[in-house]
Amino acid sequence: MANFPTHIAVGTAVSGSLATVTLAADVVGPENLVAVTLAGVLGSVLPDIDLKDSRPSRIMFSGLAIFFAFAVLFSLQTPYSVAEMMLLWLGTLFGVRYLGQVLFYHFSYHRGIWHSILAGLFCAFFTAVIYRRLLGRPDGVAWLAAAFMFAGFLTHLILDELYSVDVTDTRIKASFGTALKLLDAKHPGHSTAMALAMVLAFLMAPPTGTFVQSVTSRTLWSGLQQRLLPHDRWFGVDWRGMAWLPDMPFRPKGAVPATTSPIATGSIAAPPPPAEQKPAK
């Protein structure tokens, strides 16, 4: 299987590429882009959370403990005292880091249910729940984070499967087929429990209408298509004046790219046009 730094590097590259396209399409505002991208990076290492007593697993449980501790703290609606908030924060931190880790290791094993598409879907739906209910993000942003999480999770599974093929020795390792699978056929109970958890997470997740309508908008995709390559200038330089370049069709002056979808998934809304002032009598 691929090591931890490789998963981090590839997961960051995939999440960064998706974030670039997302930002260019104006699907999500800059104020939410970092949070969405981090979900993809986390998903790229999450399947290795079942590596018992390993550094990647300890790092992930520590990160999850910090995340959930602050998520609980920021989601408090009742004005508790400082002592009460500290107890809730510390309780969540140590509960996830130590008690959660012990229970998780007791019911899991490496390359089991957590190396499956079923687990990836559960993590995606659960991400939507966390972003909406704990972090207070809009529905569209929550589902976009879920999509990034699933993309990162799937990247991990595919990368582990590719590392099961020894190209130099032209052989397939015994671990081939254990990384990328729909469910854990060896442990039906684990697969059943994960399927139930996935359905429950989906029912708790916010509505998908805003996200689906936004990412399937024809206006959004046409605007993104126009932004794939520069029309007349690369990095602000007009290369048409170079003698060694052949004549190429360029966008006529005054052409304006199509506007993106008005459906908001966290984007910063454009300011309204100024009202016309009537001439003074």
Is residue 163 situated within a structural domain?
Answer: yes
Is residue 29 situated within a structural domain?
Answer: yes
The 8-class DSSP code of residue 95 comes to: I
Where is mean pLDDT largest: 20-34, 200-214, 229-243?
Answer: 200-214
pLDDT at 207: 92
Tens digits of per-residue pLDDT, 37-85? 999 998 988 888 877 766 777 887 888 888 888 888 877 767 788 888 8
pLDDT at 196: 96
Q: Is the pLDDT of residue 36 over 60?
A: yes
pLDDT at 24: 80
> Where do the H-state alpha helices sit in 75-204?
82-94, 100-106, 117-129, 139-162, 188-204
Q: Average pLDDT of the chain?
A: 78
Cβ neighbours of residue 234 under 8 Å, at least 6 residues apart? none
Torsion angles phi and psi, residue 234, rounded to 5: -105, 120
pLDDT at 194: 92
Per-state percent for the chain, helix, strand, coil, to nearest 5 = 60, 0, 40
CA neighbor of 68 nearest in space, from 88, 52, 83: 88
Q: Is the pLDDT of residue 99 over 60?
A: yes
Task: Look at residue 165 and give its three-state secondary structure.
Answer: strand
pLDDT at 143: 94
Is residue 37 situated within a structural domain?
Answer: yes
Decide: 40 and 15 in contact? Cβ < 8 Å: yes
- In the structure, what pLDDT confidence band is assigned to residue 262 with cuts at 50, 70 and 90? very low
Q: Is the pLDDT of residue 251 over 60?
A: no
- For residues 233 and 242, give the distance between their C-alpha atoms in angstroms, rounded to a whole number: 12
Is residue 225 situated within a structural domain?
Answer: no
Domain count for the chain: 1
Is residue 250 situated within a structural domain?
Answer: no
Q: How many CB atoms lie within 10 A of CB 2?
A: 19
pLDDT at 216: 82
Mean pLDDT of 196-204: 95
Q: Is the pLDDT of residue 121 over 80?
A: yes
CA neighbor of 21 nearest in space, from 160, 186, 185, 227: 227
The 8-class DSSP code of residue 51 comes to: -
Is residue 251 situated within a structural domain?
Answer: no
pLDDT at 204: 94
User: What percentage of the chain exceeds 70 in pLDDT?
Assistant: 73
Mean pLDDT of 160-186: 65
Is residue 257 situated within a structural domain?
Answer: no
> Residue 13 is part of which domain span?
4-51+110-215
CA neighbor of 41 nearest in space, from 23, 22, 60: 60
Tens digits of per-residue pLDDT, 208-231? 988 888 888 887 777 777 777 776
Is residue 234 situated within a structural domain?
Answer: no
Where is mean pLDDT largest: 126-140, 144-158, 234-248, 260-274?
Answer: 144-158
Q: Is the pLDDT of residue 136 over 90?
A: no
pLDDT at 178: 64
Task: Name the maximum alpha-carbon separation found in the chain.
Answer: 89
